[in-house]
Amino acid sequence: MNNTHQNRTAGITQRVMLYLDGELSNKEERELLTEIQSNPDLLERFSMEKSFREFIRSKISRRTVSPALVESIKSKIRTAAPI
């Protein structure tokens, strides 16, 4: 595999991750989805990553924290941040 192909693959992988994280603009999403639909290998990788994330979300329960703890952390950040 040459560097150009590796760079392109890494770029697509990064865009897929950004898409799944909800970090792409509407235009970028449309472009990525169009590219995915036209490339069976990319569609398979995309589907696997999406399925993996859904599986992890369904198996992991997040603990909740009290609003008081959140405020305490925010307060510490505000007092520690230089003005």
* Secondary structure (3-state) at 39: coil
Q: Say what the alpha-carbon torsion angle 51, 52, 57, 61 is, to the nearest 10 degrees.
A: 150
With a CB cutoff of 8 Å and minimum separation 6, the contacts of 13 are: 45
pLDDT tens digits, one per residue of 2-57: 677 677 778 888 999 999 999 999 999 999 999 999 989 889 989 999 999 999 98
Take residue 14 and report the two structure tokens written for it.
Answer: 């990064």
pLDDT value for 1: 55
- Residues found in the chain: 83
Task: Band the pLDDT of 73: cuts 50, 70, 90.
Answer: very high
- Going from N- to C-terminal start, the domains of the chain cover 3-80
Q: Say what the alpha-carbon torsion angle 60, 61, 62, 65 is, to the nearest 10 degrees.
A: -160
